């Protein structure tokens, strides 16, 4: 059984909704300090602020999205966003794949876009590619995984969290089996319970994006179960 520290080291928390303000980010940072969540994720305009807040917290990283939440901006717009995020101190970038172009069969376009952005990071920044599995067929999911792998990204991520549906363990299992050791997998969207967390961990998912309330509950329940296991 995972301890609270082990669990938190796999969880990204975020304030990336339209209504989120500095007070929401301050709350995230306080909980990141308390539980040691691995990544605090904010919208691009807050990255420099967040970087200053957590610069002395070991093991907690500054995250932000590119092309969020639709992925439909032009390549130059995404590239400029990524450049600014790097300048502002981002340590992890979650790039929303251009899903419309993917579904239209424009794979060369999607691949070129990702390679340009990943190239900017120069292996100094962790890159995750969001593929939004809830709007893709099984075949499109595998094609999206191939493009993410070819781009040199570190993770393929299952969704933005903006299209709500329950976490689909079976589809994520297929993604993990298909990707193997070629790229890590981050599950995001609909992860609410310790059972969800454990199921995803057991199939090999390396990172999870979870809303703050559920993340705290999962970590605290992990700790309780870990303590129980020591007493058996």
Choosing from 78, 154, 186, 196, the catalytic residue is: 186
**The token pair that represents 135 in the structure block:** 């709007």
Whether the per-residue pLDDT at 9 is higher than 70: the answer is yes
Is 186 annotated in the active site? yes
Choosing from 12, 88, 94, 196, the catalytic residue is: 94
Domain ranges of the chain: 4-231
Torsion of CA 68, 72, 73, 78, to 10 degrees: 50
Separation CA 95–CA 130 (nearest Å): 6
Distances (CA, A) of 138 to 52, 142, 167, 172: 41, 7, 15, 11
- For 80-129, the pLDDT digits (tens) are 999 999 999 999 999 999 999 999 999 999 999 999 999 999 889 999 99
Is 94 annotated in the active site? yes
Whether the per-residue pLDDT at 228 is higher than 80: the answer is no
In which residue are the tokens 């400029």 written?
Answer: 80
Give the CATH class of 4-231: alpha beta
Choosing from 128, 157, 176, 184, the catalytic residue is: 157
- For 188-213, the pLDDT digits (tens) are 999 999 999 999 999 999 999 999 99
Whether the per-residue pLDDT at 226 is higher than 90: the answer is no
Instruction: Quote the pTM value.
Output: 0.95
- For 39-90, the pLDDT digits (tens) are 999 999 999 999 999 999 999 999 999 999 999 999 999 999 999 999 999 9
Average pLDDT over residues 173-199: 97
In the chain, where does DSSP find H-type helix? 4-8, 22-35, 47-54, 75-88, 99-103, 107-121, 138-151, 169-179, 194-202, 212-231
Confidence of residue 232 (pLDDT cuts 50, 70, 90): low
- For 21-36, the pLDDT digits (tens) are 999 999 999 999 999 9
- For 131-166, the pLDDT digits (tens) are 999 999 999 999 999 999 999 999 999 999 888 888
């Amino acid at each position: 059984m995972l301890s609270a520290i082990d669990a938190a080291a796999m969880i990204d928390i975020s304030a990336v909704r339209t209504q989120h303000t500095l007070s929401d980010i301050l709350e995230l940072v306080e909980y990141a300090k308390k539980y040691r969540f691995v990544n605090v994720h904010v919208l691009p305009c807050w990255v420099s602020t967040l970087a200053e807040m957590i610069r002395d917290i070991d093991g907690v990283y500054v995250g932000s999205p590119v092309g969020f939440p639709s992925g439909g901006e032009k390549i130059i717009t995404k590239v400029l966003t990524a450049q600014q995020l790097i300048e502002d101190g981002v340590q992890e970038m979650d790039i929303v794949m251009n899903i419309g172009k993917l579904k239209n069969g424009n794979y060369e376009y999607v691949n070129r876009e990702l390679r340009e952005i990943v190239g900017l990071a120069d292996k100094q920044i962790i890159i995750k590619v969001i593929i939004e599995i809830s709007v893709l067929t099984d075949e499109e999911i595998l094609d999206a995984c191939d493009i993410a792998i070819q781009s040199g990204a570190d993770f393929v991520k299952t969704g933005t969290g903006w299209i709500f549906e329950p976490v689909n363990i079976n589809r994520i299992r297929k993604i993990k089996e298909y990707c193997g050791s070629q790229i890590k997998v981050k599950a995001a969207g609909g992860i609410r319970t310790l059972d969800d967390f454990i199921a995803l961990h057991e199939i090999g998912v390396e990172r999870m994006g979870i809303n703050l309330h559920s993340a705290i509950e999962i970590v605290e329940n992990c700790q309780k179960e870990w303590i129980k296991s020591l007493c058996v």
